[in-house]
Amino acid sequence: MKFLWLIGIEGSGHHMIRDVLRDFLASREVIDKGDYYPLWLQRWDGEQVPLPRQAVRNVLEEILSEYQSSGCTHIYEDTSFPYGGTEEPFASCVSGKENRGVGRRPDIADLIHLVGDLMDLRILVMHRSPQATVNSALRRGFSDDPEFECRLAEGINDYVTGEIARLPRDCYRTCHFDDFIKSPLKHVRPLAEWWDIPPDLVREGLSRLKEPTAAHERPPERQAILEKYFTAERVAPWLAAYQQNPLVST
């Protein structure tokens, strides 16, 4: 059974990929988000007493056994960083700064440690320019503070790139949002092969792609703040990490 995990900072393409895969996710053989949220939340939420690894494993094994008995071949999960609270675990949270800290994130390495021998884990790391992801968060009303969102994006990119640098190369691939938008057909077969999805389902889903908000449509005062914050020196380590192990080779 394959565990397909799409991760990345909010605004980097979660909704885009979900729209493309809509028909696949609706099939009987796919579990779209499973029954493990309470386990992960208690394992990773700093405000709760963490569950021991073996306790999590025991429950996970029961859940996965039930899925397999029902004929499930894939589990799909998309996780944006930061994640929300108990009302909306591991999803983007729109309730203000108090729930939007850089520490609000699933533990990528810990998940591999928990389920790596129980499932075939296939991670896709979506990434995008930090100016674009911050603008996305501000446009959607997650907060109204550009400088706060810049610091948040910096911390999350530091975390995600640090984690993937330690991952086994055979468990993840990376994909740039803009590359997918500009050349979607080029991504059909690599994505289908990586996630063991019928290529026709991926190809047909491309009709649901939408053009992102262009840079020239962003408020110029905000754009100036973002460009000043995200200097070439600041983003260089992230770019280097995200360019490793790409879904589509250049």
CB contact at 8 A, 185 and 135: no
| Contact between residue 213 and residue 135 where contact means Cβ atoms under 8 Å apart | yes
77-88: buried (b, 16+ CB within 10 Å) or exposed (e) per residue?
bbbbbbbbeeee
Lowest mean pLDDT segment, chosen from 8-17, 49-58, 200-209: 49-58
CA distance 34 to 55: 17
Task: Give dist(CA 137, CA 3) in Å, integer.
Answer: 27
Residue 195 has pLDDT above 50, yes or no: yes
The helix or strand, by DSSP H or E, that contains position 63, with its residue range, turns out to be: helix 53-69
Predicted confidence (pLDDT) at residue 94 exceeds the cutoff of 50: no
**What pLDDT band is residue 154 in, cutting at 50, 70 and 90?**
very high
> Mean pLDDT in the chain?
86
Tell me how far the alpha carbon of residue 231 is from its chain's centroid.
24
Q: Of 26-30, 42-46, 53-57, 188-192, where does mean pLDDT reach its minimum?
A: 42-46
3-class DSSP assignment, residue 79: strand
CA–CA separation, 201 and 65 (whole Å): 27
Average pLDDT over residues 170-196: 96
pLDDT band at 26; cut points 50, 70, 90: very high
Q: What distance in Å separates the CA atoms of residue 238 and residue 242, rounded to the nearest whole number? A: 6
Q: Give me the helices (H) in 70-212, please.
A: 108-115, 130-139, 146-164, 177-182, 184-195, 199-205
Share of the chain above pLDDT 90, in %: 58
Pairing mode of beta strands 30-32, 74-81: parallel
Burial class (CB in 10 A: 0-12, 13-18, 19+), 216: exposed
pLDDT class for 16, splitting at 50, 70, 90? very high
Q: Which of 165 and 219 is assigned the larger pLDDT?
A: 165
Looking at residue 100, its pLDDT comes to 57
Give the span between the Cα atoms of 175 and 133, in whole angstroms. Answer: 15
Please, which pLDDT band fits residue 206 given cuts at 50, 70 and 90? very high
Whole-number pLDDT of residue 89: 39
Instruction: Give the residue, 8 or 83, on which the prediction is more confident.
Output: 8
For residue 219, is it left (φ>0), alpha (ψ between -120 and 50) or beta? beta
Cα angle 228-106-40, degrees, rounded to a multiple of 5: 160
Are 107 and 44 in contact by the 8 Å Cβ rule? The answer is yes
Identify the pLDDT of residue 73. Answer: 96
Beta bridge partners of 81: 9
Q: Which residues pair with 171 in a beta bridge?
A: none
* 148 has pLDDT over 50: yes
- Give 235's pLDDT tier (boundaries 50, 70, 90): very high
Q: Does the pLDDT at position 54 exceed 50?
A: yes
Q: Which fold has domain 2-242?
A: Rossmann fold (3.40.50)
pTM beyond 0.85, yes or no: yes
Look at residue 92 in the predicted model and tell me its pLDDT: 40
Residue 150: what pLDDT? 94
pLDDT value at 14 more than 60 = yes
pLDDT reported for residue 88: 43
Mean pLDDT throughout 55-72?
91
Q: What percent of the chain has pLDDT over 70?
A: 87
